[in-house]
Amino acid sequence: QVQLVESGGGLVQAGGSLRLSCAASGRTFEINYYTMGWFRQAPGKEREFVAVSNWSGGTITYADSAKGRFTISRDNAKNTVYLQMNSLKPEDTAVYYCATAPVSWSTIVANDYAYWGPGTQVTVSS
């Protein structure tokens, strides 16, 4: 089994920054070879892809809404993936989830992800 726990969410003013972390535990030796992704879900909306990194960090993909503002990174030694979010906007308000997919490519398809964290709330005020 794999457990994921997000942290770093909170309330921030528009234009501000937050850094989300996702710590993995359990089968961490395998996780280091899995793809890690961030998704988010705003009230009344479907869960949407935000960013993904393959196991090495060599292949990274961002949603259009995240490009130029968000940066995904991972530290396999610490079994942790990060999402640095800058220039936050009110429309970024959502619950942010990290997830891991037992694949080697950077998939943006939520159904490919086998394990999910409980989520962390990000609220951006205008």
Across all residues in the chain, what is the average pLDDT?
94
- 22-59 pLDDT, tens digit per residue, is 999 988 778 788 999 999 999 999 999 999 999 888 89
Cα distances (Å, whole numbers) of residue 57 to 29, 47, 49, 120:
16, 23, 17, 23
The stretch 73-93 carries a mean pLDDT of 96
Q: Looking at residue 33, what is its pLDDT?
A: 86
Q: Looking at residue 18, what is its pLDDT?
A: 98
Q: Looking at residue 104, what is its pLDDT?
A: 85
Q: Looking at residue 31, what is its pLDDT?
A: 79
- Give me 16's structure tokens: 């501000």
- Give me 31's structure tokens: 């996780």
Cα distances (Å, whole numbers) of residue 34 to 39, 43, 69, 76, 100:
16, 29, 24, 10, 6
Distance of alpha carbon 28 from alpha carbon 26, whole angstroms: 5
Cα distances (Å, whole numbers) of residue 17 to 43, 55, 79:
21, 25, 23
CA atoms within 13 Å, Cβ hemisphere of 73: 9
- Give me 56's structure tokens: 């090495």
Residue 14 reports pLDDT greater than 80? yes
Residue 74 reports pLDDT greater than 90? yes
Which amino acid is residue 44, in one-letter code?
Answer: G
Q: Looking at residue 58, what is its pLDDT?
A: 86
Residue 105: which pLDDT band, with cuts at 50, 70 and 90?
A: confident
